[in-house]
A and B are shown apart, each in its own frame.
Chain A
Amino acid sequence: GESVGLHLPTLSVQEGDNSIINCAYSNSASDYFIWYKQESGKGPQFIIDIRSNMDKRQGQRVTVLLNKTVKHLSLQIAATQPGDSAVYFCALKGSGSARQLTFGSGTQLTVLP
């Protein structure tokens, strides 16, 4: 089956520093990966995605890196701001017909003033 894990359940960073959140996955057949941000009381919000034919993708202040050799995914947030405090989930698209998302357990990012 598919499983998604994260290296750290919590991460604290100083405002203005860069944040790196890591994720490992087991299903080598996965071809689409997404990072979500979830604030308290809200549903997950799409941040950035990457397909398996890429190893890096950049957005506004965020970069996702994919290493298919070691089945590792990371999210880098530049110049972390207080509004970035949330739980971050990596997710992968399943290989089933529904293409449902399989989520990791999440990393709580806390931005310190």
Chain B
Amino acid sequence: GAGVSQSPRYKVAKRGQDVALRCDPISGHVSLFWYQQALGQGPEFLTYFQNEAQLDKSGLPSDRFFAERPEGSVSTLKIQRTQQEDSAVYLCASSLVGLGGEQYFGPGTRLTVT
């Protein structure tokens, strides 16, 4: 079956531009997570959805970061007025159950801000 997919796989943005990153979770997965992975580091939690509800956004680094999952399936991570420090790989993961369960990761979107 299809795994978690993300698009685009690569994105280059000029500083100050807005970007939107898409995540298609595994069908039927209740939970969806966004992580940010800087070069040479482990992923760091950004935000979590259970169905369409955003239950935790404590990891979002600033109010320039915004995530949504309006129909409880596809999610979009939006970054406004991108800055160089936003350059990273953005990973999406989904899991079947609400508060536990194995998280399946997508391939990530590599964002480079120039």
Binding site for B on A (CB under 8 A): 4, 32, 34, 36, 41-46, 49, 89, 91, 93-94, 96-106
B29 shortest CB reach to chain A, Å: 14
B48 touches A104 (CB 8 A): no
Chain B residues within 8 Å of chain A by Cβ, number: 25
User: Inside 8 A of B100's CB, which chain A residues have their CB?
Assistant: 32, 93, 99
B55 touches A97 (CB 8 A): yes
B9 shortest CB reach to chain A, Å: 9
User: Inside 8 A of A46's CB, which chain B residues have their CB?
Assistant: 102-104
Cβ-Cβ contact count across A and B, 8 Å cutoff: 60
B41 at interface (Cβ–Cβ under 8 A)? Answer: yes
User: Inside 8 A of B42's CB, which chain A residues have their CB?
Assistant: 4, 89, 91, 103-106
B55 touches A98 (CB 8 A): yes
User: Inside 8 A of B104's CB, which chain A residues have their CB?
Assistant: 46
B91 shortest CB reach to chain A, Å: 5
A98 shortest CB reach to chain B, Å: 4
